């Protein structure tokens, strides 16, 4: 009687094990096994982190094993189980791997295909075609689109984290990490004390230093010493937490009537302001998106204010970016003067503080929330709805979507909701942050998510002109390494452009992002199809880069780029591509570390060893 050896790995996360009954059925080209209970006498099966093996005996050889069906049935009370993978050793000694990486909840069954990726046009038998379609039908019922706010990118149809599908919720360990990290942040930053401090007038600029009492490292101490200085103010436009707004000024806007006489004392090359502009030495940061945004008025005892400043920046002879003029509103006039470095010390300092305040709101609401968190969620929902687990693009993207929908749901539940943390702590709370996203979506195009295009569109792509723009330099390296990795994987499965065009699932994925995720807005300019391998490579690179490197540059993370602990791919060529990718990332990390040696302000935000795989925090 033929016998198959089945090995099952249970997850390592908290509460991954189960005491419920687990059944298996092997489906082959020549027949199916009996539904078999996996249970060893006097043994605690399926404990957390366990790898258990069982014999499945059959009356006759099943042929090629096509599917494995796993069922969980209640023993005493429902006990969720996380299955990592299943391997099957055939009577002839061959090994087959069946990745699972999902939770079985209630009396659930999961049907798995082996770990080799397949395009839909390569599936020929009705059995695998039906399995593929059934998986997508179920996913589309589970992962539904919903508009959280008018004018926002679409999000998951769930009000609370606990309403999400179990597979995309934080696992218990991650949930505890979230609570501990939040508590630690509260402790370190004395948030409650800050809230009180911010809701009353500061008596002295030394109050600012209290922020750094519990944050002790070389960089923070250097910043504390130099935060008032112009060079530090300018440096943050290049390598701070919002390095995406500065652009080359080719012509002064009429709304910002700076004259040569105003700034002549700040210019160092014996050129007029107009000549400095023509020479490419003048840059600008415009916070027009904040103009007219309603300030937070949720607490009638606390007046809050917003500015929509314009800041003119000058690259001096030492290649440092220096502020030379600031206007705090968009309409010039007597009540909206232009502030200059030659003004009184505190007038100029307060003008810079207003710019930095506006930069904070732009960073948190647009650069961070909209352009990384919400956009990655759009890609993630479309992925679950349109790409089955066997699709190579699903296997490629799933590590970069990990926990994104969960953290965004938590944010809508606790952070950006009515009476959430934004309402309590931000001047854009009470609805201003919603208005900002609605405005910013109108300029969010697909090309603006392509890192090289975004850099070039702002006129800051020249290393010779801006030699200390490390966000750009490191971003280029990571973008190109990511694109080469994606290219290696894509070319394994798509041997021609016609293969891309014939893949109905990848086309449905791209269309779902545009037509539903971005609501087919005329101005978003997202593609509705991809026709070539190069277009597909760029599209997938945008998703991975947005979820990993771009998010890291404006935030921080945990599971780093190039790390794929869940082996969704089993083919050797893909594993080789991953190894090559990790090697390239290690070389980039080494070069960044070498460049940063001896710098008082080292830049590590785009170092691959600091880049999380996904938007998970």
Q: C-alpha 458: how far from its chain's center? A: 22
The helix (run of H) or strand (run of E) holding residue 599 is none
Nearest partner of 205 among 195, 214, 197, 217, judged by Cα: 197
R_g of the chain, CA atoms, integer Å: 27
Buried b or exposed e, range 129-144, using 16+ CB within 10 angstroms = eebbeebbeebeeebe
Within 8 A by CB and 6+ apart from 513, the residues are 378, 379, 382, 526
Binding residues for Fe cation: 368, 373, 551
Query: How is residue 111 written in tokens?
Result: 């049907």
Rounded Cα distance, 600 and 474, in Å: 18
Binding residues: 17, 39, 79-80, 368, 373, 551
Nearest partner of 272 among 319, 314, 326, 323, judged by Cα: 314
Rounded Cα distance, 213 and 77, in Å: 50
Binding residues for Ca(2+): 17, 39, 79-80
Full DSSP string of 133-158: HHHHHHHHHHS-EE-SSTTSPPEES-
Rounded Cα distance, 266 and 581, in Å: 46
Rounded Cα distance, 604 and 617, in Å: 18
Rounded Cα distance, 194 and 442, in Å: 34
Rounded Cα distance, 591 and 582, in Å: 14
Q: C-alpha 146: how far from its chain's center? A: 20
Which residue(s) pair with 21 in the sheet?
73
**Mutual angle of helices 504-512 and 375-386, in 10-degree steps:** 150
Would you call 389 exposed, middle or buried from its count of C-beta atoms within 10 A (0-12, 13-18, 19+)? Answer: buried
């Amino acid at each position: 009687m033929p016998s198959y050896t089945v090995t099952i790995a249970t997850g390592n996360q908290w509460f991954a094990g189960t005491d419920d009954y687990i059944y298996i059925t092997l489906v082959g080209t020549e027949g199916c096994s009996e539904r078999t209970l996996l249970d060893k006498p006097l043994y605690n099966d399926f404990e957390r982190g366990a790898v258990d093996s069982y014999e499945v005996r059959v009356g006759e050889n099943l042929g090629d094993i096509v599917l494995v069906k796993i069922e969980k049935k209640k023993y005493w009370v429902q006990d969720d189980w996380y299955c990592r993978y299943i391997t099957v050793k055939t009577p002839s000694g061959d090994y087959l791997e069946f990745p699972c990486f999902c939770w079985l909840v209630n009396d659930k069954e999961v049907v798995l295909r082996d770990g080799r990726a397949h395009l839909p046009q390569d599936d020929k038998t009705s059995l695998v075609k039906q399995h593929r379609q059934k998986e997508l039908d179920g996913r589309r019922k589970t992962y539904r689109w919903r508009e959280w706010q008018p004018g926002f990118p679409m999000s998951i149809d769930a009000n609370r984290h606990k309403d999400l599908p179990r597979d995309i919720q934080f696992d218990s360990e991650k949930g505890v990490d979230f609570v501990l990290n939040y508590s630690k942040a509260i402790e370190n930053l004395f948030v409650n004390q800050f809230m009180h401090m911010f809701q009353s007038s500061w008596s002295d600029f030394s109050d600012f230093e209290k922020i750094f009492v519990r944050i002790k490292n070389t960089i923070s101490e250097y910043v504390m010493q130099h935060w008032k200085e112009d060079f530090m103010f300018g440096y943050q436009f290049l390598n701070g937490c919002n390095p995406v707004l500065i652009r080359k000024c080719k012509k002064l806007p009429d709304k910002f009537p700076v004259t040569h006489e105003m700034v002549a004392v700040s210019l160092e090359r014996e050129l007029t302001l107009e000549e400095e502009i023509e020479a490419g030495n003048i840059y600008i940061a415009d916070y027009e998106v904040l103009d007219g945004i309603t300030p937070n008025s949720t607490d009638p005892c606390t007046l809050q204010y917003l500015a929509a400043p314009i800041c003119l920046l000058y690259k001096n002879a030492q290649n440092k970016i220096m502020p030379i003029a600031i206007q705090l509103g968009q309409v010039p006039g007597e009540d909206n003067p232009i502030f200059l470095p030659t003004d009184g010390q505190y007038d100029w300092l307060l003008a810079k503080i207003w710019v930095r305040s506006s930069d904070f709101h732009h960073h948190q609401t647009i650069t961070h929330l909209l352009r990384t968190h919400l956009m990655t969620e759009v890609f993630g929902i479309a992925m679950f709805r349109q790409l089955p687990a066997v699709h190579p693009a699903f296997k490629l993207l799933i590590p970069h979507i990990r926990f994104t929908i969960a953290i965004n749901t938590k944010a809508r539940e606790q952070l950006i909701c009515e009476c959430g943390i934004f309402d309590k702590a931000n001047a854009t709370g009470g609805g201003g942050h919603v208005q900002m996203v609605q405005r910013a979506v109108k300029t969010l195009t697909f090309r603006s998510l392509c890192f090289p295009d975004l850099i070039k569109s702002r006129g800051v792509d020249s290393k010779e002109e801006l030699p200390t723009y490390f966000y750009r330099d490191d971003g280029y390296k990571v973008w190109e390494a990511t694109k080469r990795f994606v290219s290696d994987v894509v070319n394994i499965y798509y041997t021609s452009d016609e293969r891309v065009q014939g893949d109905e699932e990848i086309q449905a994925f791209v269309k779902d992002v545009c037509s539903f995720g971005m609501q087919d807005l005329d101005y978003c300019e997202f593609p509705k199809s991809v026709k070539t391998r190069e277009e597909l490579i760029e599209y997938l690179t945008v998703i991975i880069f947005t979820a990993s490197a771009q998010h890291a540059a404006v935030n921080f993370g945990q599971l780093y780029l190039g790390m794929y602990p869940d082996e969704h791919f089993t083919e050797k060529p893909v594993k080789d591509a991953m190894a090559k990718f990790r090697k390239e990332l290690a070389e980039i990390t080494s070069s960044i570390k070498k460049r940063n040696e001896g710098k008082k302000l080292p830049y590590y935000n785009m170092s691959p060893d600091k880049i999380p795989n996904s938007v998970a925090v």
